[in-house]
Structure 1
Amino acid sequence: MLNASNALGKGLGPDVALRRFGSKLTTFEKSEIMNYENVYFVGSAAKKHVVLSSIKKNNNGFDDEKGHYILNIHDHIGYRYEILKVMGSGSFANKGHYILNIHDHIGYRYEILKIMGSGSFANVVQAYDHAKKEFVALKIVKNKKNFHHQVKEEIRILEKLGHEDPDGSAKIGHIVDHFDFRNHKCIVFELMSYNLFDLLKMNGFKGFKELLVKKFAHSILESLEFVHRHNIIHADLKPENILLKTKYKSAVKVIDFGCSFFEDERIYTYIQSRFYRAPEVILGCDYGKPVDMWSFGCIVAELFTGHPLLPGEDASDQLALIIELLGLPPSKILKTSKRAMNFFSADGFPLYCSHKVFDDGFIAYGSGKSKRGKHRGAPKTRNWIATLKNEADDLFIDFLRRCLQWDPACRLTASDALQHPWIKRKLP
């Protein structure tokens, strides 16, 4: 329930807010609040940070050791947003990411409801906008110099996508606003429902029926087609970054463009979450939009089976799993690789498994094991049918295989995938 007793309706001027709520504010806030034209919420019920101007360490005490803003219960962010609820604060606090108190404000306008996610780059919280009287998702970026350029790039991409999609039909999670608060960049997004990983978890990781998988796949492809049409690479597509627009409906949107970039402005050499990382990225080859289609193929398989298709323990194991499923990479891929020596011998044999060369030139490969002792089969010994629970037909397998090609140039594009017979086929 919102702490409406200190919400300020249409907002107050800072001098009026200070007279009315000054006894509830810290010395720092009494000075800070004067920088805000309108004050909507002050978090007067929060346990406030007592900040001393003489303490410069960790952003005057507002940040933890890792640069995350320390959030307090009932406090505000930006004199507009209020923190309401903490989800899993104990474990996150122990890891040094943040120390949370519910009902804090952000920007004296937003009221935080709960933590939705935490990572090395930012915390994402559910918030209530006391100015617009609506719920939003609020991303609070880590206060570290190496993230400053990254968040500027994210905002630039989000604003470009928003400009190109004024009616919101592209199935992208759009930016609502952005601002700075206590040396942290904050980005406001429309609030949506569960992500697809949460949905899989709620379903006991059993996977979904083919019809539902196809509906999800179609929406994701529409998002990717739109993003790629504007020469943007998402670069971190995974179930956690695909959200249901509303509960109980299959419409989804792609979110989190924090690692995204324009194709002609590639600024990262290593991208994507490991399970969904394209082989050309692992091998240090040139890459482009097809990396998103690789991630997409992995996601579709996971939605169907309930489990990651390629759950590698590290980069070497990730590539071993790919080889186990697809076989050895084409020689032209290895020739352009900057990291091939990490995974292959000078003769081009994969290091994860044994091999024997016979007099007639025949090569027999053995199996291998991951660092944790998990079995990894010889190249191309993993069966697609068994991998997909013996429930996928030839058309579905063909669709996945075309998404998961070694050669990026041979993968389906998003627009091509939308025309594939599996996507277009109606199920009973």
Structure 2
Amino acid sequence: MHWCYALVLRAGVMHRCSQEEPRTKHKGPEEEQMRMGAYHPASPRERQIMQSYLQNPPDLRPGSLLQSPDHCFQLQEHLASGVYGKVIDCWNLTAQRPAVLKVLQVQNAEFFWQEEAEILQILAQHQGHKNHVVQWFHSFQISGTFIHEFEKLDISLKQYVMESPYGGLGLMEIRPIVSQMAQALHFLKELGIMHNDIKLDNIMLVDHLRKPLCVKLIDFGLASTENIQGKEIHNRYFRAPEVFFGAPVDSAADMWALGIIAVTTFMGRMPLPGPSDEDMMRHIVETVGHCPESVLDSGLYTAEYYGLSSSRTWEYKFPPLDPQKRAIHRLDDIHKSGPPGRPFASVELQDRRAFVNLVKHMLDPDPATRITPAAVMSHRFVSMHHLAKGVPCYHSTSVHIMDKANGIVRNELPSNCLALFKPVQSVPVSAPVKRKRTQEDDCDVASPPKKRQIQETTATERGPDTIEANLPEPDPLKETRTSLQQDQTMTSPTSPNLRIGTCFRSPGPPKMELPSAPRPGDNTSCTREDFHQLTKSTQKKDS
């Protein structure tokens, strides 16, 4: 019966695939292969048997049990849902570990499931979980439902930014995030893989309490192993200009998306908030400039944005944007538009200038000269070479936060930095205390703002997105295919024989234990509030 089920499942799904439109308006080679007879339609008998299986899909309600070929899962809650399916929190009863299931519910689900499983296996064999990529355990299918199992992570970077008391993140928080994502992109580039969907929702914090600012890249549903052209990849707000033009795309498009993320986390709002492709191109051109002729010449859709003059040169079609609709007028303005109401010292001003320099290289309109992930990791903003001769407390605090995010255990901060926020917490805002200036004032600033506690909420419980609310248009960052996929131990470029009825597994993932609750007074449990206090406590001298 198993061989019959597998045959019918393949034939039935592929029959549906042959009748459905591809996911993008520009047909890629994979979609064309499906529509040109690579898969055979099901016979009437096969369709009849297939329908009998599809009439009994697996029960995905919270509290139900889901049985894969080798594992049993107790479903707990639906974390998110989107056009590609849903993400379900669960407990793996067989392996005794928390997990997250990504359930594909999309046209041509089998095809996308196999494509993603191939990428996940490549990543797993090369130990992607050690390079800030989500850990994948295995993939399976039940009654025509296609599922991936991943490790369970914490909250998304989008939610983390929304919960910031300042509206955006400080440079001490952004630095480790950019560093870890650059490491992940370098890892993918070495394997010849492009993520193609980097955005705030697809960067997850591992545990914002026990492992503050440790992040991982998730959701490889659109990832590819070769350069592509003419396909709509990335969310519009994180899409590189060469993608709009339909020019050949490589890993440089992922770096552009990371640059947009870096600016968004700092400003607390989207820097290029175009509600349409045309408006996005206007924002890009007026903020970072035009792409080179080589990119325009190779684009399939360049004529939608540029026209050819009589001298055979490209001329931009659109009039200038209304200045009131622009979040920033040029990249050099970024350092002036950080979290509001925060005084910063000259040392942080130097840090902001280093940050702007990095962002300008990440948002280079020429993909050929755009900064590489390896160059990001050695840039002075990430390496902090420019801080070594500045205020000692600012430098040591920055190094400490970076080490915490990377899991490096070193000596704690100097006592003059550690003691700063304890007196500040005990002093009422309405009754400031006058005292003599000491060396501790090198890092001292005004009392910290009111704390806001980060709560773990489901997708339906989350309030309005402040990042979206700050935009002139109502819908930024909403084109999410929210999948809480997770880190992998991944495989070789040699793809396995993928067939329906097969269960894909990562090569021996380590057992995961439920983390114990943080203990009061545990110095290793540096919370996010500590980071805000550390950040504020290093910014008063010279301010």
TM-score norm. by structure 2 comes to 0.55
One-letter amino acid of the structure 2 residue matched with residue 274 of structure 1: R
Over 3 Å counting, the alpha-carbon distance change for 1:397 and 1:267 in structure 2 is closer
Rounded to whole Å, the distance in 1 between the matches of 2:86 and 2:258 is 25
Alpha-carbon distance in structure 1 between the residues aligned to 2:329 and 2:369: 21
CA distance in 1, matches of 2:103, 2:337: 44
User: Which has the higher relative contact order, 1 or 2, with Cα contacts under 8 A spaced 6 or more apart?
Assistant: 2
SS, match of residue 264 in structure 2: helix
Question: Contact between 1:225 and 1:414, CA under 8 Å: does it hold in 2?
Answer: yes
Verify: 1:397 aligned to 2:338, yes or no. Answer: no
Given candidates 120, 139, 144, the residue that maps to 2:83 is 120
Q: In 2, distance between residues paired with 1:202 and 1:182?
A: 40
SS at match of 1:262: coil
Separation (CA, whole Å) in 2 of partners of 1:151 and 1:389? 45
Given candidates 315, 318, 330, the residue that maps to 1:349 is 315
Separation (CA, whole Å) in 2 of partners of 1:188 and 1:409: 37
Report if the CA contact (8 A) 2:71-2:95 is conserved: no
Q: Which string of whole-angstrom CA distances, capped at 9 and with x for unpartnered residues, describes residues 219-249 of structure 1?
A: 1111111111111001111111111111221
What is the identity, as a one-letter code, of the residue corresponding to 1:176?
Answer: F
CA distance in 1, matches of 2:73, 2:269: 37
Contact 2:140–2:147 under 8 Å retained in 1 = yes
Secondary structure of 1:114 counterpart: strand
**Match of 2:126?**
164
CA distance in structure 2 between the partners assigned to 1:322 and 1:267 by the alignment: 20
Deviation at 1:332, TM superposition (A): 2.4
CA drift of 1:60 comes to 1.2
Alpha-carbon distance in 1 for matches of 2:219, 2:114: 13
Task: Give the equivalent residue in structure 1 for 2:60.
Answer: 71
Alignment identity in percent?
Answer: 21
CA offsets 1:378-421 (integer angstroms, 9 cap, x no match):
xxx81324344445632211100101111111101101111111
SS at match of 2:306: coil
> For the residues of structure 2 that align with 1:422 and 1:384, how far apart are their CA atoms?
16
- CA deviation profile, 1:71-119 (whole Å, cap 9, x unmatched): 3343222279xxxxxxxxxxxxxxxxxxxxxxxxxx9721222222212
Which has more strand, going by share of residues?
1
**Counterpart selection for 1:261 from 224, 244, 254:** 224
- The residue that corresponds to 2:372 in the other structure is 413
* Cα drift, residue 343 of structure 1: 1.2
Q: After superposition, where does 1:279-428 map in structure 2 within 5 Å?
A: 279-347=241-309, 348-353=314-319, 367-368=320-321, 375=325, 382-391=329-338, 393-425=352-384, 426=387, 427-428=394-395
Conserved 8 A contact 1:352-1:369: no
Matched, 1:198 2:159: yes
Does the Cα contact within 8 Å between 2:53 and 2:143 map onto a contact in 1? no
The corresponding residue for 1:16 is none
Picking from 160, 170, 178, the partner of 1:209 is 170
Asked whether the equivalents of residues 65 and 72 of structure 2 are also in contact (C-alpha less than 8 Å), the reply is yes
Distance in 2 (CA, whole Å) between partners of 1:232 and 1:246 is 27
| Length-normalised TM-score, structure 1 | 0.69
Amino acid aligned to 2:115: E
The alpha-carbon deviation at position 202 of structure 1 amounts to: 1.6
Residue correspondences, number: 322
| Aligned 1:55-66 pairs, distance under 5 A | 56=51, 59-60=54-55, 62=57
Matched, 1:154 2:116: yes
1:186 maps to a residue whose letter is I
Backbone CA RMSD of aligned residues: 2.7
Runs of 5+ unmatched residues, structure 1: 1-52, 63-68, 81-106, 354-366
Residue 446 (structure 2) aligns with: none
Question: Map of 1:123-142 to 2, 5 A cutoff?
Answer: 123-142=86-105
Q: Which among 189, 202, 207 is matched to residue 246 of structure 1? A: 207
Partner Cα distance (2:50, 2:284) in 1: 51
SS of residue matched to 1:334: helix
Between the aligned partners of 1:247 and 1:116, the Cα distance in structure 2 is 18
- In the alignment, which residue of structure 1 is the partner of 2:188? 227
Which consecutive residues of structure 2, in runs of 5 or more, have no partner in the other structure?
1-47, 339-348, 388-393, 396-543
Q: Which amino acid aligns with 2:380?
A: P
